[in-house]
Amino acid sequence: MYCRGHYVRYSPVDKMENKRGIDETEGKETPSDVKKQKTISTNIEGVLLGYGNPLLDISVNATEEFLKKYDLEANNAILADDKHKPIYDDMLATFKDQVDFVPGGATLNALRVAQWLLGTRNSVTFFGCVSKDKYGDILQQKAQEAGVNVRFQYTDKEPTGTCAVVCTGKDRSLVANLAAANCFTEEHLDKVENMAFVEKAKFFYCAGFPLTACPKAMMQIARHSLEKQKTFCMNLSAPFLCQFFKEPMMQLMPYVDFVFGNENEVEEFAKANEFDTLDHKEIALKIASLPKESSRPRTVIITEGELPAIVAQNGTISEFKATIVPADKIVDTNGAGDAFVGGFLSQLVQGKSVEDCMRCAHWAGQFIIQQSGCTFPKTPSYK
């Protein structure tokens, strides 16, 4: 997922109905909620697990002409086809010393941000497939340095996946070559040592991109989450997924407790599912009311750039503002949406209210757009 627009400080427009024992009017926590949060904070290791497509981001500041050369659109995310395959070598040759390499992939980005904010090492576990090559080594090293417990599946059929990040001004276009990421199989979950981390986790997150690789693994994790009364979160991630991978997405949807998406993604989702509306608030309510396997209500979060983010929960809509970051402080928007989700998840796994989750989500998103790519210092300044 990506979010166009600019993030800064949080300001809720409407208050959400609170299900976690917090008195919103007085701003005080009940004793039971304090006890719950303390319990979670002392048992945070392994609390969050995600499966996604691990990719090494190859990032450059390019021109509109370079976008047109590969028929790309600003602020879009696509899978590479034959006409896009030369872009990776072309970036290295054209931009040379200006190329940045950052471990990425939407799910891993969000989980790295969540781990950063949680602080306790190995709070987050990540599943994905890479090759035992230099790019795979970089991904593993960087993720482990960030405190993420990486449990890669390895393949010799394809090289480690890469993603071209073509930045033009404050915008960016993503072209992903899944390669090894596309080789992930659900057999990885059958291994006792890996399933132990699934059993330990209380929250799960998948971007929508693995729908193109191994939807069976996503479904297996989602069913486990339902059976064990845990929490499963998913991102729509890109408009093309809502259109061309509608079937596996809708098979998974009954198990999803939290859905994330931006304005472009939810509009495409609405068209694909014949909602007969492009009003974002109506779409949020319709997604929230889709059939669900558990009685727990589904929460839908829609980001709209500099406009207030929309949250649909329990049949009501709330909006959460983000003050605009001055243009001269924005470096690029790559990873902003992933950081938003990571900020949200970091608070969700601690039992915080939706308002607290949104406050941290906006903070994380605004922080990342002031960095080069989805990068951050060792210690967050979030309070």
Q: Which pTM value belongs to this model?
A: 0.83
Task: Spell out a b/e string for 210-241, using b for 16 or more CB atoms within 10 Å of the CB, else e.
Answer: bbbbbbebbebbbebbbeeebbbbbbbbbbbb
Give me the catalytic one of 257, 332, 338, 356.
338
Q: What is the mean pLDDT of residues 262-288?
A: 98
87 Cβ contact partners less than 8 Å away, ≥ 6 residues apart: 70, 80, 164, 166, 175
Tell me, yes or no, whether 132 lies in a domain: yes
201 or 335, higher pLDDT: 201
Q: What is the mean pLDDT of residues 94-110?
A: 89
Q: Flag whether pLDDT at 41 surpasses 50.
A: no
Q: Flag whether pLDDT at 3 surpasses 70.
A: no
Tell me, yes or no, whether 91 lies in a domain: no
Residue 2: pLDDT band by 50, 70, 90 thresholds?
very low
In the chain, % of residues over pLDDT 70: 89
Comparing C-alpha atoms, which of 209, 179, 256 is closest to residue 1? 209
- pLDDT digits 0-9 by tens, 55-93: 988 889 999 999 999 999 998 888 899 999 899 989 989
- pLDDT digits 0-9 by tens, 23-35: 333 333 343 443 3
Q: Flag whether pLDDT at 11 surpasses 60.
A: no
Tell me, yes or no, whether 98 lies in a domain: no
Total tally of structural domains belonging to the chain: 1
Tell me, yes or no, whether 3 lies in a domain: no
pLDDT on residue 6: 33
> Which residues span the domain enclosing 139?
10-54+105-160+179-368
pLDDT on residue 374: 82
- pLDDT digits 0-9 by tens, 287-315: 999 999 999 999 999 999 889 999 999 99
pLDDT on residue 219: 98
pLDDT on residue 324: 84
Q: Flag whether pLDDT at 51 surpasses 60.
A: yes
In the chain, % of residues over pLDDT 90: 69
Q: At residue 240, what is the residue type?
A: F
Tell me, yes or no, whether 90 lies in a domain: no
pLDDT on residue 37: 41
Residue 46: pLDDT band by 50, 70, 90 thresholds?
very high
Dihedral, 368, 108, 43, 366 alpha carbons, nearest 10: 10
pLDDT on residue 27: 35
pLDDT on residue 171: 83
Enclosing H/E stretch for 90: helix 87-95
- pLDDT digits 0-9 by tens, 348-369: 999 999 999 999 999 999 998 8
- The yes-or-no answer on residue 137 being catalytic is no
Residue 373: pLDDT band by 50, 70, 90 thresholds?
confident
Q: Average pLDDT of the chain?
A: 88
pLDDT on residue 29: 39
Tell me, yes or no, whether 76 lies in a domain: no
pLDDT on residue 30: 40
Residue 21: pLDDT band by 50, 70, 90 thresholds?
very low
Angle at the Cα of 183 from the Cα atoms of 147 and 88, rounded to 5 degrees: 80
Q: What is the mean pLDDT of residues 130-145?
A: 90
Q: What is the mean pLDDT of residues 2-6?
A: 36
**CATH number for the domain that contains residue 257:** 3.40.1190.20
Lowest mean pLDDT among 3-7, 120-124, 207-211, 251-255: 3-7
> What stretches of 119-200 show up as alpha helix (H) in DSSP?
134-145, 187-190, 192-200
Q: Could you tell me if 345 and 44 are in contact, meaning their C-beta atoms sit under 8 angstroms apart?
A: no
Tell me, yes or no, whether 334 lies in a domain: yes
pLDDT on residue 97: 86
Tell me, yes or no, whether 191 lies in a domain: yes
- Taking every pair of C-alpha atoms in the chain, what is the biggest distance, in angstroms? 60
Q: C-alpha 105: how far from its chain's center?
A: 9
